[in-house]
Amino acid sequence: MAKSTKDMFDPQKFLAKVGTGKAILTFRKNQLVFQQGDPADSVFYIQSGKVKLTVVSEQGKEAVVAILEPGQFFGEGCMNGHPLRISTTTAMEDCVITSITRESMMSAIRDEPKFSQLFISYLLTRTSRIEEDLIDQLFNSSERRLARLLLLLANFGKEGSPQPISASINQETLAEMIGTTRSRVSYFMNKFRRLGLISYNGHIEVHNSLLSAVLHEKPVLRERD
């Protein structure tokens, strides 16, 4: 029995091809994808590379709010009626990104259950991560926040082996993401390396011992600032 068109729909192929309301864009390292305050009329999907989302306060203070990898969406605020971008997105390395207009996203969500499931799953995961980040900021020391961030960036808890953290994610970026100073991050990173929890080799390698320290609240991560 022949499969229907909907049964044959592949969300990944849909996102990887140019089509109505879709474009495949390339960005060089440090190139802006969009800036805070720009008109918001499309959603983006990362095919390859990494991007960082930053926000700037009225006082001019900048903070990194997320680092996104292949398989993740961003700019989805336009789906909820936001007319302007509330953050700035910058390529951290060379990227290939699919741009999808709001109208095309709405059509795909309405007409293609598999795509709708993929997008909803992403939104639920993103919401859960934001809640965890808020709890982390409220109750954990900056040392423990840094340890958790390193584990997340190394993809601990996901399928496959932990990944080295790209050299493009420097100590200043880490400091902005956990809400502390670069000097504090440098101190903690040297401490983690001295204790064998991480190592440097052009990039950061996170060891299982750091996960054990976080899970079991070992003294190295117990004190508050």
Report the SS3 class of residue 187: helix
Say which residue the tokens 């700037």 belong to.
56
CA distance 64 to 53: 6
pTM above 0.75, yes or no: yes
Say which residue the tokens 């903690």 belong to.
188
Residues in Cβ contact with 18 at an 8 Å cutoff, skipping those fewer than 6 apart: 24
Report the SS3 class of residue 17: coil
Whether the Cβ atoms of residue 40 and residue 77 lie closer than 8 Å to each other: yes
Whether the Cβ atoms of residue 42 and residue 100 lie closer than 8 Å to each other: yes
The token pair at 103 is: 């109208």
The token pair at 144 is: 């423990």
Q: Beta-carbon neighbour count of residue 147 at 10 Å? A: 24
Q: Beta-carbon neighbour count of residue 185 at 10 Å? A: 23
Q: What's phi and psi for 3, nearest 5 deg?
A: -80, 145
Kindly give the confidence (pLDDT) of every residue in the chain, 225 residues in length, as a single tens digit, with 9 standing for 90 and above.
Answer: 444 555 678 988 899 988 899 999 999 999 999 999 999 999 999 999 999 999 998 888 889 999 999 999 999 999 988 899 999 999 999 999 999 999 999 999 999 999 999 999 999 999 999 999 988 888 889 999 999 999 999 988 676 678 899 888 999 999 999 999 999 999 999 999 999 999 988 889 999 899 888 877 666 665 544
Q: Which domains does the chain have, with CATH numbers?
A: 16-133 (2.60.120.10), 141-221 (1.10.10.10)
State which amino acid sits at residue 73: F
